Amino acid sequence: MVTVPRTQSGIDGEVVPYQQDINQLQSAKGAIRAGTHVLLRQAGIEAGQVEQVIIAGAFGSYIDVLSAVCRGLLPALPLERFRQVGNAAGTGARMALVSRRVRRLAIAIARRVRYVGPMTAPGFANGCAQALYLP
């Protein structure tokens, strides 16, 4: 099945997804969705209580948030709660390099952060499997 015809693809050919592409998409969706549930459970809150979701990196730059919410990749929150910030790590690193105040703030935040390993969290594998469906 042709997803994007040659005349609209911007490349010298059609865009055609293969079963392997669909499988990788499902796996990524399952991991992101299950990871979100792990983080919410660790924080002791429901998705509806989240005030803001910051989406960073290339993922954050290019994802269509409405589409991601409709397909179950991101939690069903009002779209105004999502903020796409692009290369947040690179921007933060540059800011910390040029500002002592920002560097101190980054250090203070880093001391409060705790790592949550989703792969070993209870329910992660089951959550991945449940999130494979693409509505």
Convert the pLDDT of each residue in 2-15 to its tens digit: 788 888 888 888 98
Give yes or no for a contact between 89 and 45, defined as CB atoms under 8 angstroms apart: no
Rounded to the nearest 5 percent, the helix, strand and coil shares of the chain are: 60, 10, 30
Domain layout of the chain by residue ranges: 6-130
Give yes or no for a contact between 52 and 81, defined as CB atoms under 8 angstroms apart: yes
Per-residue confidence (pLDDT) for residue 128, from 0 to 100: 83
Per-residue confidence (pLDDT) for residue 46, from 0 to 100: 95
Entry pTM? 0.76
Per-residue confidence (pLDDT) for residue 103, from 0 to 100: 96
Share of the chain above pLDDT 90, in %: 47
* Single-letter amino acid code for the residue at 134: L
Q: Is residue 4 classed as helix, strand or coil in its secondary structure?
A: strand
pLDDT digit string, tens, across residues 102-114: 999 999 999 999 8
Tokens representing 63 are: 């994802």
Residue 100 clears pLDDT 90, i.e. is over it: yes
The C-alpha atoms of residue 32 and residue 44 are separated, in whole angstroms, by 18
Give a three-class secondary structure readout of 40-83.
HHHHCCCHHHCCCEEEEHHHHHHCCHHHHHHCCCCCCCCHHHEE
